Structure 1
């Protein structure tokens, strides 16, 4: 099963960015947004070679935005509105999100590390070459996933009702409940995870387990 292919990048020297730079939601490049404690709204903007550090945004809105070779570090947002966002070569780390709506988004060569999510909605999303490392979710709702790996992650609920998986490594995702068991087709799981899913799989196949 092929592993995710993560492209490396190095950010150039960055100028300081301000909330006012977001006006008009145009093309924004080589800026560092740091220490902002306010709503951050940049729907439909295009960010290229930018960083977002130590942001405390009650609402972070990036609907239909595009992030190319960007880093997000220590970002806190109880509400993340990211439907339709495009993430290309993005690194996200040590961040915390409450309700994170990324429905119909596109993720390509993305690493998410040491992050916590309340609900991450990826329904209708397309993920290709993505790694989640040491992340925690209350609920994770997956969409179409190709070469996606979880390492040292956990979720209370894994929703796969609308998922389509190809080369998805779930061995590193500890899940308590799975909704939509058939959506796991194409994923790789451990023997221990298989044991936990035995009753659901048997029920789906119309089998009865006797003890």
Structure 2
């Protein structure tokens, strides 16, 4: 039986996480939040005092990456994320943990360890995978490939609202700076840089709402999985 795979790639703050959860719920598919994997690994290494010493403890870090105890649950079109049985959904969305993830993502050995973890999410009836290199590196065989983008300014505004909704302080100038820096780092890295797959359906959500983007995605996906 062929497992249907839908990939949703794009830069930080484009809304791909929220929409991936909605798409997974709509089709009743499994969900992979690959960005959360890197955040979870970064958080785990930080908690163990290894984040600033990855190169010196590479074998140990790879071992942790290979055996991360993680689980994703969809609840009301949002995603709950668990590390070692503890709900860390809000913790991993902080800017600090985002920086942890960036340190992890540039190390090829850790990316390879997480590659195997991500491929293991291919299970019936289907998979929705959200990230930055899902279509180009992890699931090139995906039947539906979406690249969701938006201007850095609109993404910064959304991120501020998200953080404020979580009760966290947020300054838009700092968020915008971080987003632009992360975009540059993601697009220029030598391993699996952020870019659309050649056959991706590109959606710019800068000026349209989540419901309209969701409908565009569903229309496209229905065409792909009907082939």
TM-score (norm 2): 0.27
**Higher relative helix content:** 2
TM-score (norm 1): 0.28
**Higher relative strand content:** 1
Higher RCO by CA contacts (8 Å cutoff, separation 6 or greater): 2
